[in-house]
Chains A and B, each alone.
Chain A
Amino acid sequence: MAGRRFEDAVMPHLDAAFNYARWLTRNDVDAEDLVQEACMRAMRFLASLRDGNPRPWLFAIVRNTWYSRQSRPGMAVEHPMDMQSRDDRPDDALDPEQQLAQQDTVARVRRALEALPAEFREAVVLRDIEGLSYKEIAEALRVPIGTVMSRISRGRERLLETLSVQSAPEVML
């Protein structure tokens, strides 16, 4: 059992796992349960990480845990979106008017992303918020890279459609 320690290999990615879990579940309570259960699994499966990259490995566990939780009797399949407000930290480099515009944009983009079907939502989250490469996303989702590309592309397409209904995209973004 001499191998990597959970604390060294996995704990540095806990925030990433929680953020991803929160985007999958779209509410705090489920995200907390999910990330705890996933970490318990990660502890038991730690040997399977070997010298691999912990981030996609951990995301894959979070994701599998979420889908197996959803198929469990008594578990709600999809919660109604909870539009909890969070601090949308504006960029300090912008003047106040720009800051407000940016805050507003970010809030709307966040809502649009939250409303996206799960398969597009997670692909976009893993790429643009978690910053994974296409190869890492393919590992986490266990799909070919071509599928990753098309999910990201269609996800962004849908986001732009949603946002352009609200206002002209050039003005909006």
Chain B
Amino acid sequence: MTCACLDRDLDAYVDGELPAEADAAARTHLDGCASCAARLRQRQALKRALQAIPYFETPPGVRATIALRASRMRSLRRLGLIAAAAVVVLAAARTVTFLPLRPAPASDAAQALVDGHVRSLMADHLLDVRSTDQHTVKPWFIGKLDFSPPVTDLAGQGYPLVGGRVDYVAGQLVAALVYQRRQHVINVFVAPSGTATAGVAARSVRGFHVRRWTAGGMWFSAVSDLNEAELDAFVSALRSS
């Protein structure tokens, strides 16, 4: 072996990554070549110095946050909510990051609601209060919003309430009530409204269906990837409750 040959393998030799035969050849050369042996010692010293650099340790707060998120993610999986949502979330992650924090024009309202829905499916956004009990969910909003959203459980009709959260949609602080139908999540966004409209407006955006109506001085928007027939049945159950 020549010095040039060893040169190519010197680092792999130091790292113990050479195949047995090449390793033996390198050793033989190093025994008889002072200049290569000197370069080897330099490499080994550098390696020792690199290994002596202390590890940057994870700040405890970062570790705790990650552990918390992992456990929340698992409890959502147990609810069966994440498996279906994960694909959507990945596709929408970029849009979600740039969700406009200003009043959206009317034509963008459905888009903003769908964004709010998709964002909620990300691990730590779906539920701030987890309860199937409307008497637990309703008081939870007190002090977090300057209005009190009506909260109704529809478990009897096949749409159990799973919880709620405060959200920010199209520039407005809103209540979000979360219902479940099989593995589908239905977000119902609620906020005060100055105008009253008759009937239910229907929109679809990127495979999500949006139903919007007003009642008792508030607007309501139900958003889900649930099929339209079942979503409509849900909306009429909610409106007549």
Instruction: List the interface of chain A (C-beta within 8 A of B).
Output: 1, 5-7, 11, 14-15, 18-19, 22-23, 28, 31-32, 35-36, 39-40, 43-44, 72, 86-89, 91, 102, 105-106, 109-110, 113, 124, 127-129, 133-134, 149, 152-153, 156, 159-160, 163, 169-170, 173
Contact = CB atoms under 8 A, between A and B. Distances in A.
A18 B70 contact: no
Nearest to A105: B49
Given A44-B89, A106-B53, 12 more contacts: A1-B83, A6-B70, A18-B57, A36-B62, A39-B66, A43-B123, A91-B52, A102-B52, A129-B50, A129-B53, A169-B42, A173-B49
A153 B43 CA distance: 10
Secondary structure at the A interface, as helix, strand, loop or mixed, is helix
A40 B45 contact: no
Contacts, number: 108
Interface string B37-78: 010001101110111111111110011011101110110010
B58 A159 contact: no
Nearest to A87: B54
Q: Please report whether the interface of chain B is mostly helix, strand, loop or mixed according to DSSP.
A: helix
Interface in B1-20: 10-12, 15, 17
B151 to A, nearest CB: 30
Interface of B: 10-12, 15, 17, 38, 42-43, 45-47, 49-59, 62-63, 65-67, 69-71, 73-74, 77, 83, 86, 89-90, 97, 123
Residue among A87, A128, A160 facing the most chain B CB atoms (10 A cut-off)? A128
Contacts of B52: 88, 91, 102, 106
Given A14-B63, A43-B70, A153 B49 contact: no
Given A15-B55, A113-B53, A36 B66 contact: yes
Contacts of B11: 149, 152-153, 156
A11 B70 contact: yes
A11 B67 contact: yes
Contacts of B74: 5-6
B40 to A, nearest CB: 12
A173 B42 contact: yes
A109 B70 contact: no
